Amino acid sequence: MSDISIRKTGRAGRITLTRPKALNAVTYEMCLAIEDALDAWRDDDEVALVIIDAEGDKAFSAGGDIQKLYETGRAGDFAYGQRFWADEYRLNAKIREYSKPYVAFMQGFTMGGGVGISCHGSHRIVCENSQVAMPECGIGLVPDVGGSLMLAQAPGRLGEYLGITTTRMGPADAIMGGFADSYAPQEMWPELIGKLEETGDTDAIEAAQQVPPDGALAAQQAQIDAHFGGETLADILTSLRNDDSEFAGRALKALSRGSPLAMACAVETTHRLRRPGTTIRDALELEYRFTYRAMEYGDFLEGIRAAVIDKDRSPKWQHDLDNPPSLAATKMLMPLGKDKLTFD
């Protein structure tokens, strides 16, 4: 497959995304190919660990390939997207639960679907130009691919903040937020990958890691916790609107761009998944309730139209922030019954 290179090199199972001109956007076929490789390598004694990286400097992966999702959804075919998300989520769980080390090298943009195939790994490495984000609310989706679990487990109220403002995290912030583990300058990566391939031992990662440049989130933690601690999106908006600080102004501007329905659901999913003992499967099952309904009842198709198809950046959302949706958000997260996500 020209979009992805899968092979064995030394002691490593190697996966490289090879769509740099498309910012290594993950297609349905790429997801299936990665899953097949992981299944084959699980019981392969020659493979001690898995390494995933990507060609190009701009992006490890800027997200999922949403063109076909849009085309099928506009044609009234919601089943394709439902099947795509179900299979993608199964892969995300498989990576999180994988029995061998799974090492991800995340340069440039790592967003959305790119997070799903990297940030669930056991060893997640960022560099000086890494930008990690969950931008889904901006296109009418909730943070998915298991990203909702990482948001729920982030310190304080970072999860709500990152999820609904779609803020990008540099290397230090990605480590603080729980989306990455180690920082190493990108120029060191070829040598590090070579050692991992040769030895099959992850000790080389610790030897190579350095202290990342300072991030922005640590200094903002108190403000984030104060404003994003409400029970609902409406509570968060009220708190921000009663503060004339620069931080509150920036946050409100960010929220003005997102789908109110998606943001209301993102706040709710973050709260639900913060309960002790929550697993990756719990998170993906909850996300799937939303994505299963996203084309027919949500803002997804309008979000893609505005951001990707017409590129007018003026989506006509179903709801507005002066009256944030509550009943509609509840309906989007209702159990799916016989259509519930399974991991078979």
Give the sheet arrangement for strand 59-61, strand by strand: 59-61, 109-111, 131-133
Asked if residue 212 belongs to a domain, the reply is yes
Asked if residue 95 belongs to a domain, the reply is yes
Q: Is 296 a catalytic residue?
A: no
CB atoms inside a 10 Å sphere around CB 285? 18
Give alpha helix (H) positions in 1-138. Answer: 28-42, 67-74, 78-96, 113-116
Asked if residue 195 belongs to a domain, the reply is yes
Active-site hit among 13, 63, 64, 159: 64
Which CATH number characterizes residue 129's domain?
3.90.226.10
Q: Is 10 a catalytic residue?
A: no
Question: What is Dmax (Cα atoms) for the chain?
Answer: 60
Asked if residue 171 belongs to a domain, the reply is yes
pLDDT tens, the chain, 344 aa long: 589 999 999 999 999 999 999 999 999 999 999 999 999 999 999 999 999 999 999 999 999 888 889 999 999 999 999 999 999 999 999 999 999 999 999 999 999 999 999 999 999 999 999 999 999 999 999 999 999 999 999 999 999 999 999 999 999 999 999 999 999 999 999 999 999 999 999 999 999 999 999 999 999 999 999 999 999 999 999 999 999 999 999 999 999 999 999 999 999 999 999 999 999 999 999 999 999 999 999 999 999 999 999 999 999 999 999 999 999 999 999 999 999 999 98
Alpha carbon distance 162, 160 (integer Å): 6
CB 163, CB 283: distance < 8 Å: no
Q: Is 136 a catalytic residue?
A: yes
The domain in which residue 331 lies consists of 4-339
**pLDDT in the model for residue 2:** 85
Asked if residue 323 belongs to a domain, the reply is yes
Asked if residue 71 belongs to a domain, the reply is yes
**pLDDT in the model for residue 49:** 98
**pLDDT in the model for residue 114:** 97
Q: Is 87 a catalytic residue?
A: no
Active-site hit among 136, 197, 268, 285: 136
Asked if residue 244 belongs to a domain, the reply is yes
| Strand-pair partners of 49 | 12
Asked if residue 344 belongs to a domain, the reply is no
Active-site hit among 53, 144, 268, 285: 144
**pLDDT in the model for residue 1:** 53
> What end-to-end distance do the CA atoms of the chain give, in Å?
25
Active-site hit among 81, 113, 140, 298: 113
When divided into structural domains, the chain yields a total of: 1
